[in-house]
A and B are shown apart, each in its own frame.
Chain A
């Protein structure tokens, strides 16, 4: 159990267009989903945290109007990169947390998707 999928796995788009990436928890309900970005040879950088039915909390330096996050259900969160530019090219990875944060354990129940490679031309 605890499988998280992402779609698409790879996308190429033209500069100025918008791209939507989906993150789904396939066999559990995710109260919280996280979106990360990874540059080559760099660490995963948290972009935002989203809870179902509420607005996402963005990390400092992340443009919320550029990276739109929607967590409409307990199994689906979407990240839309609006008006994409070549510098947005990166590896985007989501994770879904199964518990509500009351277990005292942090990170163990955060399940990651396989990631989406975005290339903006």
Chain B
């Protein structure tokens, strides 16, 4: 049962334009969401997060939007740069006390390619 889904395996964008990566989840207990970026031969690195009490979080060129009623979140990158080309994973966690801390459920990833 895939609780976190990224339905677009890949996305291609022109440099300077906006990249929008989408993520859907099914578990209503998820209350914290994160985006990770992964370059080839490297592990995923944390990019940006959002708590379920918010609907938007912005950090420089990166903004994450959360629509709880639709169980949907998106990552906007603007303007996109060639160095943003990577695999992007969304992840979710549910707060069930100390036992669930750090336990992340990942989506399948979306390969973003930003063309110069």
* A interface residues with partner B (beta carbon < 8 Å): 4, 9, 32, 34, 36, 41-46, 49, 57, 93, 95, 97, 101, 105-115
Say whether B32 contacts A110, CB under 8 Å: no
Say whether A101 contacts B101, CB under 8 Å: yes
Say whether B102 contacts A97, CB under 8 Å: yes
Say whether A46 contacts B105, CB under 8 Å: yes
A41-B108, A43-B2, A43-B108 known; A107+B93 contact, CB < 8 A: yes
Chain A neighbourhood of B99, CB < 8 A: 57
Say whether A114 contacts B42, CB under 8 Å: yes
Chain B neighbourhood of A105, CB < 8 A: 49
* Distance in Å: Cβ of A40 to nearest Cβ of chain B: 10
* B interface residues with partner A (beta carbon < 8 Å): 2, 4, 9, 32, 34, 36, 41-46, 49, 89, 91, 93, 95, 98-99, 101-109
* Distance in Å: Cβ of A9 to nearest Cβ of chain B: 8
Say whether A43 contacts B107, CB under 8 Å: yes
Say whether A114 contacts B41, CB under 8 Å: yes
Chain A neighbourhood of B103, CB < 8 A: 34, 46, 49
Q: Which of B34, B42, B95, B101 has the most CB of A within 10 A?
A: B101
15 other contacts beyond A34-B104, A41-B9, with CB at 8 A cut-off?
Answer: A32-B101, A43-B105, A43-B108, A45-B106, A95-B43, A101-B98, A101-B101, A106-B32, A106-B34, A106-B49, A107-B34, A107-B104, A110-B46, A111-B43, A114-B42
